[in-house]
Chains A and B, each alone.
Chain A
Amino acid sequence: MHLVLFLIFGGLCVAGALNLLLQRHPINSALSLIVVMTSLAVLYLLLGAEFLAAAQVIVYSGAIMVLFTFVIMLLNAGKEERTHGSKAAYIVGFPGAAALLGILTYIFLKQSDHLGSAKLGGYLVTTSDLSRVLFRDLLLPFEVTSVLILVAILGAVALARREH
């Protein structure tokens, strides 16, 4: 059951990511990204992080991706045109990405026997103990992030405002 769900939503994730890669129009890649994020939310549920799944849906697909979609719609830049791109990106980049993938998968698979496994209800983090840690041990970082958000808002407003 767990494996089936994992395979479905894992596949959905990878499909969405590839779609992001292959689509020419940014709106399509944005929507495929939303699919990736919601399937990730489900994966979080499988791993027992339910509040996080909800947060992922609300914050990522519900807010950030809306921002992206808005910007794409407003700027309406249309399809990507074929520009020369940079040789270095391909020569250096792809081997790098491939190496990255290769190394990580090699490590994870080699160590997989040490890694243990994930059962459906194996480790459930309720919102209460999540919030207990967040608001008692890590209160200061929490407040700092709120300041960060404030700064980000001001920055965004200042940047995006039309010069009058």
Chain B
Amino acid sequence: MTSSLHLWLIPLVPFAGFLVNGLLGRRFPKALVTTVALIATLIPFVQVANIALHFSSLTLPYTEQVATWITAGNFHADFAFALDQLTLIMLLVVTGVGFLIHIYSVGYMAEEEGYWRFFAYLNLFMFFMLTLVLAENFLLMFVGWEGVGLASYLLIGFYLTKDSAANAGKKAFVVNRIGDFGFLLAMFLLIAHFGTLSFSEVFNQVAQHPEWQGGFLTAIALFLILGATGKSAQIPLYVWLPDAMEGPTPVSALIHAATMVTAGVYMVVRTHVIFDRSPFALSTIAVIGTATALFAATIGLVQTDIKRVLAYSTVSQLGYMFLACGVAAYSSGIFHLLTHAFFKALLFLSAGSVIHALSGEQDMRVMGGLRKKIPITFWTMTMAVFAISGFPPFAGFFSKDEILYQAFISPNGLGKILWFIGLFTAGLTSFYMFRLWYLTFFGESRAQATTAHDDHGHGHGHGVHESSWVMLTPLVILAILSGIGGWVGVPEAMGGHAEIAHFLSPVTGAAHEAAEGRSMELLLAAVSVTVAVIGWFIAHLMYFAKPALPAQLASKVRGLYSLLLNKYWVDELYGAVVVAPLLLISRYVLKGLFDTGVITGGGMAIGYSAQGLGALVQRVQSGNIRSYAGWLALGAAALLLLTYVGFGTHLLFR
């Protein structure tokens, strides 16, 4: 059916939800606010599901022109939405996980006072994310890109009264803006060279000119990478994500796990035609990805706050996705994005229900022995931990292994090194996940009776209790998804037929088959599983068998431990390198020197000189007639000279 799919309806319904909740939410009862928010998310999910069912009958790529936005000379950009395989997957993830998190947050945010405000912002976020995903040209994508940044700022800073939340929100927004700056420059370059911003036209022009290699394409790619690292929290601009944990847990789940942070990966995959033309950009992405993965994993080892650990694990998993894109295995990148959305959302939500259970307590050193008290959360969290560590039946194994395999066989020279670092990081990942797992659920409870020094004060202190079913159902669904999610992309080597790779091939181009064939793939899979088991065993040894071991180890490698604990002092580094000089310049050079010196100084100077001149002239006005006469005489002489010199020369006394 080629009739109009009303794509524009998908982003618009959440926007309507935002308007209703935003404007009238204050006076609505909580129930009404919830129904409005849930409907606003359900409708797009149903519509996407409907599209998914009829997808095969669609003629692709399907674009829908809503209105023209800018026509300036021969450049024009308009509100246009496009749909293809990649967009469909992203839509499914965003609307599906988004809907589940909406249900979860009904329970989680029940006692918060800004209830209606929270759901309004969530709907706003959904609107912007859907616009970003559905956009048919860079400009509309940029609108979504900015909007998502705004929504994350609002949601991180949801707890208005807390300074740390407000600062974290500001930090997130500023760092995102830096990334967006890169994206903007890329767009300018695109306009300069291609004269248009719509994806289809740009990619057609690139396809028509095979001779275009590197050069300005690399420049565009690099700027796009800068934008992606800003949004998906990669090496230079990742600092905002750990601080973003100040926001409520559903926010972290939705924005900082499933959707927003993946926008960078989606953008890279969407514009892979440009990246294919510049090998240098691809290798940069791969290097950045691997470096971030290793870097974040190492920091994650020593974090004590449960949400911080998950945040660093998100950063490192995103590093994996970037590694996939770096080695041009775009479909495996998207596959990992899909699975990661499921198990990371699940991890965050289960962490949320743990915090909810402990009435706001986030510090793992105070937890322990919760296995009996919150069994369902325990089992869903276990499912997620096994998924992320990459144990075979679960989703994580297939997607991460696919990436490592692609890295290993990629023609790029760095392939082997990246694969090895990836493998080592996978070990670290399983170690810190199981560390979290043991600290939270096993051993005896270390909670001091009444020191509920939670930091967001909503704990109601009447003992540990399992969350309500409203929060648990999304956990269960996500657990199932994390379980079976991986089977979508089982590679041929292991019996599956990589449906997702074939599904995405029209968009991402054919995934290249390795020459070594299946045996190599199986061998690599086995290696990665053994690394995961080793990680689990070490964590088991340190945190279950001998609980005192971590403390001794930490005291032995004092320097390394404090380095990791303080997150390599990166924040302090940025503070010193960027922030301090800027403040210095603006306070002293600009304000001190320029402002007071030049402007006020100049003004005063003009004033005084006018006064001085006046005094000088005033002396001539002496009242003495004869001095006037003197000046008169001189003036007359001068005038005479002037006339003679001026006109006299051709004066003829005939």
Contact = CB atoms under 8 A, between A and B. Distances in A.
A155 interface: no
A111 B650 CA distance: 11
A92 B652 CA distance: 32
A104 B624 contact: no
A140 interface: no
B633 interface: yes
B624 A96 contact: no
B50 to A, nearest CB: 100
Nearest to A111: B653
B622 interface: yes
A95 B638 CA distance: 11
A100 B629 contact: no
A88 interface: yes
Interface stretch (B252-260, B326-334, B640-648): B640-648
A86 B653 contact: no
A114 B652 contact: yes
Nearest to B627: A88
B653 A92 contact: no
A99 B631 contact: no
A47 B636 CA distance: 28
Contacts of A85: 626
B633 A93 contact: yes
A115 B651 CA distance: 11
A146 to B, nearest CB: 31
Nearest to A116: B653
A114 B652 CA distance: 7
A20 to B, nearest CB: 16
Contacts of A89: 624, 626-627, 629-630
B620 interface: yes
B639 to A, nearest CB: 10
A92 B626 contact: no
A97 B626 CA distance: 13
Interface in B25-57: none
A109 interface: no
Most buried by A among B631, B636, B641, B653: B653
A127 B125 CA distance: 109
Nearest to A88: B627
A87 B631 CA distance: 12
A95 B629 contact: no
A88 B620 contact: yes
A86 B627 contact: yes
Interface in B601-654: 620, 622, 624, 626-627, 629-638, 640-641, 644, 648, 651-654
Contacts of B629: 89, 93
Given A111-B653, A114-B654, A92 B644 contact: no
A159 interface: no
A106 B517 CA distance: 113
B634 A93 contact: yes
Nearest to B623: A86
Given A111-B653, A114-B654, A115-B653, A86 B633 contact: no
Contacts of B624: 86, 88-89
A91 interface: yes
Interface string A97-133: 1011001100100010011100000000000000000
A95 B634 contact: yes
Secondary structure of the B contact surface, majority rule? helix
B627 A104 contact: no
Contacts of A96: 630-638
B626 A107 contact: no
A118 to B, nearest CB: 13
Given A96-B635, A96-B636, A107 B627 contact: no
Given A111-B653, A114-B653, A92 B641 contact: no
A90 B630 contact: yes
A100 B637 CA distance: 5
Nearest to B645: A103
Nearest to A95: B634
A108 B532 CA distance: 116
A139 to B, nearest CB: 30
Contacts of A86: 622, 624, 626-627, 630
Nearest to B648: A107
A55 to B, nearest CB: 27
Given A86-B624, A92-B627, A114-B654, A97 B640 contact: no
B72 to A, nearest CB: 66
Given A92-B631, A96-B634, A104 B640 contact: yes
A150 B636 CA distance: 31
Contact of B633 (A97, A104, A111, A115): A97
B146 to A, nearest CB: 72
B106 to A, nearest CB: 95
B622 A88 contact: yes
A97 B641 CA distance: 12
A92 B637 contact: no
Contacts of B644: 103, 107
B652 A99 contact: no
Nearest to B634: A96
Interface in A65-79: none
A112 to B, nearest CB: 9
Contacts of A88: 620, 622, 624, 626-627, 630-631
Contacts of B654: 114
Nearest to A115: B653
B641 A99 contact: yes
A103 B640 contact: yes
Interface string B503-529: 000000000000000000000000000
A100 B640 CA distance: 7
A88 B632 CA distance: 11
B646 to A, nearest CB: 13
Contacts of A103: 637, 640-641, 644
B627 to A, nearest CB: 4
Interface in B217-247: none
A98 to B, nearest CB: 8
A90 to B, nearest CB: 7
Contact of A93 (B620, B626, B640, B648): B626
Interface of A: 85-97, 99-100, 103-104, 107, 111, 114-116
Of all A-B residue pairs in the complex, the 4 with the closest CB atoms, nearest first, are: A93-B630, A96-B633, A96-B634, A114-B653
25 contacts: A86-B622, A86-B624, A86-B626, A86-B630, A87-B627, A88-B620, A88-B622, A88-B626, A88-B630, A88-B631, A89-B624, A89-B629, A89-B630, A92-B627, A93-B626, A96-B632, A96-B634, A96-B635, A99-B638, A100-B636, A103-B641, A103-B644, A107-B644, A115-B653, A116-B653
Given A90-B630, A96-B630, A96-B638, 15 more contacts: A86-B622, A86-B626, A86-B630, A87-B627, A88-B626, A89-B624, A89-B629, A93-B631, A96-B634, A96-B637, A99-B634, A100-B633, A103-B644, A114-B652, A116-B653
